[in-house]
Structure 1
Amino acid sequence: MPVDDRLRVEDGDGIRRLVLDRPQARNALDGALVAALTQAIEDAGADPEIRVVVLAGTGAGFSAGADLKETARITEAFEAASHAHRMRRLLDAPGEIDKPVIAEVHGFALGAGCALALACDVAVCAADARLGFPEMRHAVVPALVVPGIVRRAGPLVAFDLLANGRIFTAAEAQIPGLVVLPPGADAVAETTRRAAELVGHPAELVAAVKRMVRTSDRSDRASAMDAAEQVNVENRLRRARATRQDEG
């Protein structure tokens, strides 16, 4: 389990909530918090008792993104490379584990914070949530967030969202995978409902679906269909074995 007093870990009913708890800094992602959160996601993926992971934030919003005070102190190449690699690992982590990861977004999710929400399998956004990639306003190329937003929204929408640095509502963005709640709806309740729904399905089947989605996303169609064919065979054989055991 990660050691960082700004990351709360809450378990219950097969659901692990990882809560960014740095409200005085708008849950900005500094190096220590990035490392702790990455490890926490990976640990949840390896824990057989955990079925679904939820990422959330305390205070006014989900996360304001990378800690600008920390990045302003980076002057050497090795420091820049280390920071970039840590952030890449974090943005990769939700997609690499075989368990569903849900982002619970309220208030704001900006820059790397927005990219982290979009890296999850589902992002539940409160009606007041504001998203955006303001890096261009700080004369920074939003390099690490580009692959995720292109995958989610396509190149034309991604360019529009990234190049001008504006802040937008989840409804305005129309990004696939964002669940935009109506005014007054409780994001925590909706996230919990969706997580419980996933917990209700067999863990191995949910994991298989996530692996297949990941494989299909990263492969050409023929390779993806080859993998799907093999999984289909394995699943039917598993069901046949289970039926024989029940009959015996």
Structure 2
Amino acid sequence: MDIPAQTDTAPVLLQSDAGAVRTLTLNRPQARNALSNALIAALSEALAQADADPSVHVLILTGAGPGFCSGHDLREMRAHPGEAACSTVFASCSRMMTSIVRLSKPVIAAVHGIATAAGCQLVAACDLAIAGEGARFATPGVALGLFCSTPMVALSRAVGRKAAMEMLLTGEMVGAEEARRIGLVNRVVPDAEVLPAAEALAAQIAARSPLAIAYGKQAFYRQIELPLEEAYAHASAVMTRNMMANDAAEGIDAFLTKRAPTWTGT
């Protein structure tokens, strides 16, 4: 991936826009994009800004350098070993991961190289993921005496229980094709095509009604937490509200008259 290497003064997070698609690039390549306190804070802020920006319809999350994200910055954490400091790091990271799910806009992970521990969690938290053929995933904390408990939350919601438990209990690396098979990623492409494939998928989604996408994403995560009858009741209420929107009327009329719709996001 042709992304400039970080210098001492470079920001820990890069941002670029292409139409309605915003790309956020983790920019600590010398540390395999480990999630430092500064990077967690920058990513949290960038996600909130994107959610509030009506010109942004889809986000892509990727990493600079040879890997996607190696997890928490363990050197930084060992430099501040107290319980309060550790609690703050895990809490702020958990809030950031949760914000990806609660965001009204889809987030696509474009993964190359390694995505381990909280990096694997980051992939699992995203709505969609494109992986390069050489990408590898792991929750290796068990080998360090630190079980990947917070990565477990996102991982166990993205893949089956036994697949998640095997990754968590063994800490072994999982290749891109196996990650696709268990549902951690959607597609596997040649390494050089990861970002272009993510951009093409993002552009496809960005061409849809942003209001409908927001309704749909939020309803998906809400209903999946509910019992069957409650899930149907919630989805029915959401679909009714969506049906009353201008975009729904425009989309249906466009379909019936065989023309392209013009979305207003209302």
TM over 0.5: yes
User: Sequence identity, in percent?
Assistant: 31
Q: Counterparts of 1:64 and 1:155 in 2: how far apart (Å)?
A: 23
**What's the counterpart of residue 86 of structure 2?**
80
Structure 1 residue ranges without an equivalent (≥5): none
The yes-or-no answer on 1:186 pairing with 2:193 is: yes
Q: What's the TM-score once normalised by structure 2's chain length? A: 0.85
Aligned equivalent of 1:141, options 147, 170, 174: 147
Structure 2 residue ranges without an equivalent (≥5): 1-9, 254-266
Q: What's the TM-score once normalised by structure 1's chain length? A: 0.91
Aligned equivalent of 1:232, options 235, 239, 261: 239
Shift in Å at residue 240 of structure 1? Answer: 10
Q: CA RMSD in A?
A: 1.9
The yes-or-no answer on 1:130 pairing with 2:136 is: yes
**What's the counterpart of residue 199 of structure 1?**
206
**What's the counterpart of residue 171 of structure 2?**
165
Q: Counterparts of 1:178 and 1:166 in 2: how far apart (Å)?
A: 17
**What's the counterpart of residue 217 of structure 1?**
224
**Contact 2:12–2:42 at 8 Å: present in 1 too?**
no
Moved over 6 A (4+): none
Per-residue Cα deviation, 1:153-181 (whole angstroms, up to 9, x for no partner): 12211110111111111212323251232
The yes-or-no answer on 1:68 pairing with 2:79 is: no
> Secondary structure in 2 aligned to 1:163?
helix
Shift in Å at residue 201 of structure 1? Answer: 0.3
**Contact 1:118–1:148 at 8 Å: present in 2 too?**
yes
Alpha-carbon distance change, 58 to 185 in structure 1, aligned in 2, over 3 angstroms: closer
Aligned length: 241
1:96-135 pair list within 5 angstroms: 96-135=102-141
Shift in Å at residue 242 of structure 1? Answer: 4.2
Question: In structure 1, what residue type is equivalent to 2:212?
Answer: L
Per-residue Cα deviation, 1:46-73 (whole angstroms, up to 9, x for no partner): 1111000110001001011110101212
Shift in Å at residue 232 of structure 1? Answer: 2.5
Shift in Å at residue 233 of structure 1? Answer: 2.2
